[in-house]
Amino acid sequence: MAALRETAERFGPLTDAEADRLALLTSDWQIIADLSFADLVMWRQVPDGFVAIAQCRPSTGPTVHQDDVVGTKAAPGRVAHLRRAIDEGGIIASREPRWDETYAVREDALPVVMNGSPIAVLTREVSQAVSRSSSRLELNYKGAADDLLHMITRGEFPVQTSVTGPRRGAPRVGDGVLRLDAAGHVTYASPNALSCFHRLGVTGSLMNRSLPRVTSEVVLDKGHIDETLAMVVMGRAAWRTDLEANGACLSLRAIPVTEQGERTGAVLLCRDVSELRRRERELITKDATIREIHHRVKNNLQTVAALLRLQSRRVAAPEAKEALAEAMRRVSTIALVHETLSGTLDELVNFDDLAQRSMRMAADVASPGVQVKIVRDGDFGLVPAQFASSLALVITELVTNAVEHGFEGREIGTITVMASREQDRLHVSIEDNGVGLAGEPSGLGSQIVRTLIENELSGSITWRRLDGGSVVELDALVGDDR
């Protein structure tokens, strides 16, 4: 989290370990802000007081700070309260609420501890402008927040090895909260959490019931219960997992509550992600189908190329054999594009690898008796699938033309391909050290190239003669922004 470190180091040095600890806390403190219905502000001590280096607003209640406070210094009247949190090492509640403009703010301060030493101060600030009744939900939310804040004062939250998983649909406080005791029994379940488990097929209240037993009863395949699921529903590990049953899917995240290293309970967040997982499975199925289609197209094109090769062996006329060989080469180039697409999860082609293979194939097929060295400079980058076939055909035709006509009567030659990208605009230069151009090409290959460049790639192409060779330059649009 570079921004936090840069802000903090404007007011004093910060070690790598301290920066990592503060970044880990701020990446996960939204849970505490939502459970507390309060703003959180992190303060760094400086010689003449404290300065704010990070803040977090709640999504479950009104915010105290309409404007950002990062980079501002604490008012002189608050310095003693913040220093007391460092000195006493616990949660220090303000004796009297302070007034911000027209409303009162009640503030708790606590030290952020790492390896037994405070490295920052955290304040929890609650607006008193709107009176909130002490409902059962609010009392349990604040109780869970207090448990996590006490862990911060002991350096036990967040857990360094916490794994929440990369999948989408991470549960939040507003989605559903359960509190568990050390044995995995439910001591509180929010209404949203109860609704989530009802969708799984759980009936009745969850209060005082063993959550591991409840989940094992609804899981259909009881012989293959994931170990991660058991650890999460027990609240034993700071992990995240999915629970599926009866056509519903819940995303679960456990936050163990510890005291001096001993687990005393857990906070469990849950979210109904049934629709999200269904869409993800549909996308996976579609991706697999698209890859299979590309694979079959590649196989069919290779079959066509093989048929053309067989036909060319039965043809005696040189011109007919040459025409069939050219058709076979073009079909093989398109097959190479589909082979590349069949091995990727998206519709983008790494064209550098594809270009290298197609150019080598074109050089070997065009003139087997000439040793052609191909030098590539620059990158083609990622090219959308709808432009890959056209671009590959263009590059193959140009390299083939350079080999067949530029190195006629020679044993060796060099072709230099230079590529550069400016966002979606591609610039390519293909230069050879052959005999040079007698004029602008007018054969079938050059007609195919010009048609593809102008109609499919919205670009332009020019041929030029050089001293000791020739060069062709093309400009093409190979992006979705047309």
Per the DSSP assignment, residues forming a β-bridge with 242 are 251
pLDDT at 1: 43
Using an 8 Å Cβ cutoff, are 339 and 296 in contact? no
How does DSSP classify residue 435? S
CATH class label, 173-272: alpha beta
Residue 317 identity (one-letter amino acid): A
Tell whether the model's pLDDT for residue 87 goes beyond 50: yes
| Both structure tokens of 254 | 């456990």
Cα separation values, 16 from 1, 2, 376, Å: 11, 11, 42
Work out the burial of residue 159: count CB atoms within 10 Å of its CB; fewer than 13 is exposed, 13-18 middle, 19 or more buried: middle
More confident residue, 374 or 441: 374
pLDDT at 130: 63
Percent of the chain predicted with pLDDT > 70: 92
How does DSSP classify residue 411? S
CATH class label, 347-482: alpha beta
Degrees, nearest 5: CA angle 335-337-339: 70
Tell whether the model's pLDDT for residue 54 goes beyond 90: yes
More confident residue, 386 or 221: 386
In this predicted model, what pLDDT tens digit does every residue of 293-329 receive, in sequence order? 878 888 888 888 888 888 888 888 888 887 888 788 8
Q: How far apart are CA 455 and CA 433, in angstroms?
A: 30
Tell whether the model's pLDDT for residue 83 goes beyond 50: yes
Q: Which residues contact 191 (CB under 8 A, 6 or more apart)?
A: 137
In this predicted model, what pLDDT tens digit does every residue of 150-189 receive, in sequence order? 999 999 998 876 655 555 678 999 999 999 999 999 999 9
Topology of domain 2-133+141-153 in CATH is Beta-Lactamase (3.30.450)
In this predicted model, what pLDDT tens digit does every residue of 436-466 receive, in sequence order? 776 677 778 888 888 988 888 989 998 888 8
Q: Which residues contact 386 (CB under 8 A, 6 or more apart)?
A: 347
Q: Is the pTM of this model over 0.75?
A: no
pLDDT at 190: 97
Q: How far apart are CA 100 and CA 77, in angstroms?
A: 13
